[in-house]
Amino acid sequence: MTTKPASEVFPVSDNVAKMQASSTLAAMQAAQAMRAEGLDVVDLGAGEPDFDTPENIKRAASEAMSKGQTKYTATAGTRELQQAIIAFYEREFGAGYDKSEVMATSGGKQAIFNAVVSLVNPGDEVLIPKPYWVTFPEIAVFARATPVFIETEETDFVLNAEQVKRAITPRTKLIILNSPGNPSGRVIPPAEFRRIMEVLNGHNVFAVSDECYLRFVYPPAEVYSAATLPTELRRRLCIAGSFSKTYAMTGWRMGYSLASPEWTSAMLKVQGHSTSNPNSIAQAAAIEALTGPQESVAVMLKEYGQRRDWLTHALGELPGMRCITPEGAFYAFPDVRGCLKGEMKTSADFAERLLKQEQTVVTDGAGFGVEGFIRISYATSLDRLQEGVRRIRRVAEKLD
């Protein structure tokens, strides 16, 4: 029996045909499938908090449901949620935003999607520093723009203004910034962030700042939001925020954007014709997340910090592995090139061997644009991390 080519079975659109499937979601699904088979999986793939959503947030959702908050809301989210987001930025960063600049979204991913597709045209260049979160280039490609990657290995994956300046051309429309970064965990120092924004401003280039790991920064690095920039540097800036990591709310799909009224109104059109509005119950939960007690964030941060310290030290002890201590997020991104030997030629081979021989899930760096590295999520208990490192050691030390 001959199998028909996929294009004859379903004529997938050119825009989607050019997209790659999400490798982070694939790693999560690989772990789920192995667990379903009853295997003893160590999942260091998922970029997802292992903590449960705090009880006060869950209660707020139940109450909203009981009170019948089950209808459509305004496209930009309820007025209460917009107010809560504005008050949060005022309280935490002394930053002033107007309601016309705030929009709730179905996850941080939708905020980034809205921002990119409402700005770029075919042929526009979108700067994406490496390593990047897998979704950034795919959204640019979907919008028929051209992703232009910035190499940052020379600065150990911390982007600087000079690198941005060198990458700008007359076609550059947008850059996607992400600090703390996924997968590197590196943080752009605030003064450097400002210099980057000054360079962009000088060339009329727009910026999306993905601040999904905003609160997960380990001292002495400091929490920093681009919202604190002076107004003239915020004119071409869209902040994409998320509730997923800060409040352990990945499944609730709640995020938001902060951008100029003009950019926001363009994004509202996209959202109005795609999801209409974020889930009404999740919006009520998000209000409680921002306005209720914040202790749970400090508890998670402390725990992640301890795991980070243990993990980066342990990885540094493995033969051939090099791991810079990340200042934020919950990922380590070690260089495994020194461990490659025999049949194991790439970081993908390394990740594959870990998966097949040790039932341990990590994410290959190539999906983030950097071959030779693997991403290890430490959003998992210290016990499991320790077991994971034992298994990684077995693969790193194995001689063919």
Note the residues at the interface with ligand GLU (CB under 6 A).
22, 24-25, 47-48, 133-135, 182
Closer to ligand GLU by CB, 135 or 152: give it: 135
And the tokens for 310? 């243990």
Closer to ligand GLU by CB, 135 or 283: give it: 135
What DSSP letter does each residue of 343-391 carry, written as one string? TB-SHHHHHHHHHHHH-EE-EEGGGGT-TTBEEEE--S-HHHHHHHHHH
Select from 157, 115, 163 the least CA-distant residue to 140: 115
Backbone angles phi, psi at 256, to 5 degrees: -165, 165
CA distance 338 to 317: 13
Say whether the peptide bond before residue 180 is cis (omega within 30 degrees of 0): yes
Distances (CA, A) of 65 to 52, 68, 243: 20, 5, 19
From the CB of 381, what's the least distance to ligand GLU, in Å? 18
From the CB of 231, what's the least distance to ligand GLU, in Å? 30
Q: Which residue of the chain is nearest ligand GLU when measured via CB?
A: 47
From the CB of 394, what's the least distance to ligand GLU, in Å? 24
Closer to ligand GLU by CB, 22 or 260: give it: 22
- Alpha helix stretches (DSSP H) within 43-189: 55-66, 79-93, 108-117, 135-142, 161-167
From the CB of 331, what's the least distance to ligand GLU, in Å? 8
CB 332 within 8 A of CB 308: yes
From the CB of 355, what's the least distance to ligand GLU, in Å? 16
Closer to ligand GLU by CB, 242 or 264: give it: 242
Read off the DSSP letter of residue 339.
G
Read off the DSSP letter of residue 107.
S
CA distance 239 to 197: 13
Closer to ligand GLU by CB, 48 or 124: give it: 48
Select from 140, 95, 22, 85 the least CA-distant residue to 255: 85
- Under DSSP, is residue 146 helix (H, G, I), strand (E, B) or coil? strand
Select from 320, 329, 311, 127 the least CA-distant residue to 216: 329
Closer to ligand GLU by CB, 25 or 74: give it: 25
∠ CA 331-236-21, nearest 5°, is: 40
From the CB of 377, what's the least distance to ligand GLU, in Å? 7
Select from 257, 229, 230, 197 the least CA-distant residue to 77: 257
From the CB of 218, what's the least distance to ligand GLU, in Å? 19
From the CB of 47, what's the least distance to ligand GLU, in Å? 2
Closer to ligand GLU by CB, 135 or 179: give it: 135
Closer to ligand GLU by CB, 182 or 246: give it: 182
